[in-house]
Amino acid sequence: MPLAQLQIYVTMKFVKGVHMSPVVRRTVGILIFSEFLICLGMSLIFPVMPFIKNSLHLSATDIGVMSSLYALTQFVASPFIGRWSDRIGRKPILVAGLALFAASDVLFALTNHLYMFDLSRIIGGLSAGMFVPTAQALAADVTDVRQRAKVIGWLSASFSGGLILGPGLGGLLAGFGFKVPFWVAAGLGLCGLVATIGWLPDDRQHTHATAVVQPDLQASDWRRVLGGPMTMLFVLILVSSFGLQGFESIYSIFVNEVFAFTLQDIALVLTLNGIISLIAQVLFFDHLVAWLGEVRVTRYAFLFSAIAVLEILFTHSKPVVMVATLVAFTAFDLLRPAITTLLTKQSVNNQGVINRLNMSLTSIGNILGPLVSSALLDWHYQVPYTVVVVFLAASYLLTFTVHLGTKKSA
């Protein structure tokens, strides 16, 4: 428990500056901590894939299916989980999600059979589908209007931080054995589980007074959003998710087979990427948006990511590959917040529709990206990244068609 206590303490210090009751502050701190762990587990698999592939004599398609099963299960489970959490309370769903998270990583660490790896990823996807939307719902339940946007932003940051840091941490831990990252993730999941059981208040006692009842979304709400100029932004959300997962899901296999990257090389690149991407998002994103605006940030991110992936395709230098990788990942990590920020400014009254479409399209990209890229990698090593470059270049051109206002009420 010392590790859990340390991380909870750091998180609680982080939220201390916002005016909240002690119960709400503790609830928010545990949600941020646990969501970070869930997303960390989602991305730990990437650096160890070539070594699983080689040791078990699997195809790239086998690995792609394994990666996509997580996102597919999360996508299918999330709508049902939301209804269950409304009926039985948030805490039981959160506890079950963390328990499944730990179980999935233990299973992955114990087995050497493909079908068990797939089962592990399905269980992991179910755990994410249970935890992530429920955590956001509980955060909305316990906060008032003034606090809610900031707290949801912190949860989004913990989500992104876990996805960004997971591959680097997985690569470092895999230096001790490619199963070690999953044992560590399982241990962290158990820490989060114990903290949630022991310290998270019973939401049935604390959320009814402040709970926000979300009205059912009408067909007119969907048409208002999809029928307007925001359609292009949703297209870009889908493309950016597909491009990121299409690039990242096979990256370790690609550089291992084409450039003979070792586990240490992969760990170095992914760790540097995690550090640089977090710095870019935390310290520079707001300044970039203030200077260029969200549309131009999106445009340049697509452009630089396309150039970087193209450079990886044609270079023969390992250092150049490392630098181009850092450019591509940083550009990808700026894309999502830029497009999401732009979306939230377009319609105050349709945030529910916008958020659901955003998450759904992201999930679809996360499902299709690994499947398509891994299948193309089995065909020819240059084809998947060529497809990614084409999508990114087309998206760069599509950004010139985006002309949106801000802060509209409908």
Report which residue type is found at 173.
L
Ranges of each domain in the chain: 1-205, 220-401
Could you tell me the pLDDT band of residue 328, with boundaries at 50, 70 and 90?
Answer: very high
**pLDDT score of 217:** 47
Give per-residue pLDDT as tens, 1-51: 443 444 444 454 445 555 667 888 888 888 888 888 777 877 777 788 888
Mean of pLDDT over the chain = 80
**Greatest C-alpha distance within the chain:** 62
Q: What per-residue string of b and e applies to 205-233 under the rule 16 or more CB within 10 Å gives b?
A: ebbeeeeeeeeeeeeebeebbeebebebb
pTM: 0.77
Mean per-residue pLDDT, 70-86: 82
**pLDDT score of 354:** 65
Q: Do domains 1-205 and 220-401 have the same CATH topology?
A: yes
Which of the pair, 409 or 136, is modelled with greater confidence?
Answer: 136
- The answer, yes or no, to whether residue 119 has pLDDT greater than 90, is yes
**pLDDT score of 93:** 92
Q: d(Cα 25, Cα 45) in Å, to the nearest integer?
A: 32
Number of other residues whose CB lies within 10 A of the CB of residue 406:
11
Percentage above 70 pLDDT, the chain: 82
Mean per-residue pLDDT, 198-206: 71
Give per-residue pLDDT as tens, 251-297: 989 999 899 998 888 888 888 887 888 788 778 887 888 898 888 99
Q: What's the Cα-to-Cα distance from 93 to each of 70, 80, 354, rounded to whole Å? A: 18, 11, 24
**pLDDT score of 212:** 42
Mean per-residue pLDDT, 60-89: 84
**pLDDT score of 301:** 92
- The answer, yes or no, to whether residue 338 has pLDDT greater than 70, is yes
Mean per-residue pLDDT, 209-234: 56
**pLDDT score of 372:** 92
Q: Which class would CATH give 220-401? A: mainly alpha
Q: Which class would CATH give 1-205? A: mainly alpha
**pLDDT score of 386:** 93
Give per-residue pLDDT as tens, 136-165: 788 878 877 677 767 776 787 787 778 777
- The answer, yes or no, to whether residue 133 has pLDDT greater than 50, is yes
**pLDDT score of 259:** 92
Mean per-residue pLDDT, 98-117: 92
Q: d(Cα 385, Cα 116) in Å, to the nearest integer?
A: 29
- The answer, yes or no, to whether residue 205 has pLDDT greater than 60, is no
Percentage above 90 pLDDT, the chain: 21
Mean per-residue pLDDT, 190-215: 67
Could you tell me the pLDDT band of residue 80, with boundaries at 50, 70 and 90?
Answer: confident
**pLDDT score of 388:** 92
- The answer, yes or no, to whether residue 229 has pLDDT greater than 70, is no
